[in-house]
Structure 1
Amino acid sequence: MADQTTPSEVITPEEPAAERNGTAAVLSRRKLLGTAGAAGVVLGAAGAAVGYTTAPAQATPLTSLGAGRAMFHGKHQPGITEGLQARGHLIAFDLAVGAGRKEAAALLRRWSATAERLMAGEPAAHDDTAVARDAGPSSLTITFGFGHGFFTRTGLEKQRPAALDPLPDFSSDRLDKARSNGDLWVQIGADDALVAFHALRAIQKDAGAAARVRWQMTGFNRSPGATAHPMTARNLMGQIDGTRNPKPTDADFDERIFVPASGEPAWMANGSYAVVRRIRMLLDDWEKLTGAAQEDVIGRRKSDGAPLSGGAETTEMDLEKADDRGNYVVPINAHARISRPDQNGGAAMLRRPFSYHDGLDPDGTPDAGLLFVCWQADPLRGFVPVQRKLDRGDALSQFVRHEASGLFAVPGGAARGEYVGQRLLEG
């Protein structure tokens, strides 16, 4: 866990009658956008800022959440640069026995068509479950990626990027292979739990006989509008988490996060690589620490995320500052010190995690933590050097356990008339 960090038209009583007369969910979901459609796009951008700013601003009214809309078509796939979403599902598939390139292309064509409809606030084209009938798009994003094994199953080994080579082993790993990797990966995020679940079911049904679910994980973040002003998220340890996340306004943001248009292989132009880790937090042990001890582990104040060397959340950390006894104010093994890009050769990644809670173990231990998702142009220059450094002496390591892992190549966005991955599968 690196230290990165619309007014809607009121639905009238007549609308259900319209639905009974055959216009179904299309009318109600489109009407929810109504004349606020343009405002919904603007608020989608404003919502994205939540993940990257700590500046006070007007809180987003909860009643406007449904009108937020992300675009399916674009230079990059959705679900990468948008701010943290309140609900998320991560799901990996393996291609079915006998399924190859032709079946994979048909599947990505179906998935892309469904994603485009659902992100626009429309029902699925076939067998819609009506779970999201009354809601707007709610900033829904659906993102698709390819795992290492996908290229073998489709006969496209020569197109497999070198950056997709398996991640190295780390001493803190306790990985469950059944919940790791996969041929295909889908990330779903939304600001409404039912909208996110509706998308999950549609994607699962679209898989048909072409692919089977390998694993699925569900996560959450704080809902937009729950705080007085947009602020950096907190994780289940109560820590502000994401302060040093790269920002889209940074001059080198695209260089760090996205494969250049001239990059190799050509089908990955404007794409990115997602590292996915299920990181259990050992909360019972963590919560036995005093507040001061927790802050020493992280290197930041728990109340506002400011570095222990002083200032506010975004104040540059003074790594050389010492107390009266000559001890570093930010401990030498503090998580925030070790994970800093300038302590790792400039390595940077864009973190868009979800918290998770999957109940209790038989002994009462909470199965809870972080569904860590990070984006970078090259995981060997982004995730790997930082994790290696953390692996060697991060004070936080005794309170977390990495239980699942995956690495996926996420191609650039689909142009209108295209499906995601078309340049790979039909190139």
Structure 2
Amino acid sequence: MQKIIDRFVKYITVDTQSDPENPAFPSTEKQWDLAKILVEELKEIGMEDVTLDDNCYVMATLPSNVDFEVPTIGFIAHIDTSPDYSGTNVKPQFHPNYNGEDIVLNKEENIILSPSYFEDLLMYKGQTLITTDGTTLLGADDKAGITEIVSAMEFLINNPEIKHGKIRVGFTPDEEVGKGAHMFDVDKFGAEWAYTMDGSQVGELEYENFNAAGAKVTINGKIVHPGYAKGKMINSMTIAADFIKSLPANEVPEHTTNYEGFFHLHTMNGEVEKTTLEYIIRDHDLKLFEGRKELFQKLVDDLNKKLGADLIEVEIKDQYFNMREKIEPVMHIVDIAEEAMNHLNITPLIKAIRGGTDGSQLSYKGLPCPNIFAGGHNFHGRYEYVPAESLQLATDVIVEIARITAKRARK
């Protein structure tokens, strides 16, 4: 397992944070740094057809080692880390034989990773936890997935007695800013189906995700001297407050779970003359999702009518859709992953993703792509951690999926 840990540390110490404000692809040049490292490493372990294209997608092939037809399958993870928190100068900390108590991430700043708040920690008593030092994210999302895919390919190469068909691996940029699958060449990848290794706790197996849209609300005001403002000033910030309050108060991320959708205000910038609000709109059910977008537009229209002028503008753009529609006709690909986990005494946790992955977009591009656990927790922030044992278990699942796929094809 030490080799897997060392590989993970090698990847997370390369800063690959993406940038939602940059329309370039990839959105940051530093993502190329890890992509180039991966190309060399894939060649070193014996992978074939290793490529890095002009859009920063890494692909490679593990040829079949059987003399019968087996469907080509793929495994995919993303190179970038979240723009929500710094990925620069990541300094991982190791906590062997975790005892279930508070972990001091940063003594100087009194940053504590506590099971009293993050209860999932207690599932990993006795294991080796890899955490941040409290000043950056860790990068397990999704460098854990990359680690597991590379490690599984190396294991299969070194253990040819394990029979498998052709396997394709792919590493994508800009997943965290919603563009990870935009330039992905499905035909070049050439797999019948694939799995993203981008879930959280051990056992997660997901083939449903949110339908997603982004909405930008712009409120226009008018500035005049506040001493002489009566009947003249229009304060865009107070109008923005009215709009925020007009949305259902409990339909926000902090008050919803499971299949419940939400409206999430994630960015707000305001002055008297102009305020912008940026929302994400989410729901698993397509009909409810469409209803949320309609409600959003109606609230804008109603407030403009109340104000007696079109002071509020809104732009709503769809981002991705629930991949369940594309996975259900080929549910055997989920069954194979579930069988692999059962063989390894891992309890499958089949549930809907409260978010999205590259797999949701890839499924709509013709590559059905469920999501499997990568092992990390508390993504996108300083409290992110991953148990080393989870890295190993996810690696084992990949190997087992390859073996089962070949075994089923032979029958």
TM-score, L = length of structure 2: 0.28
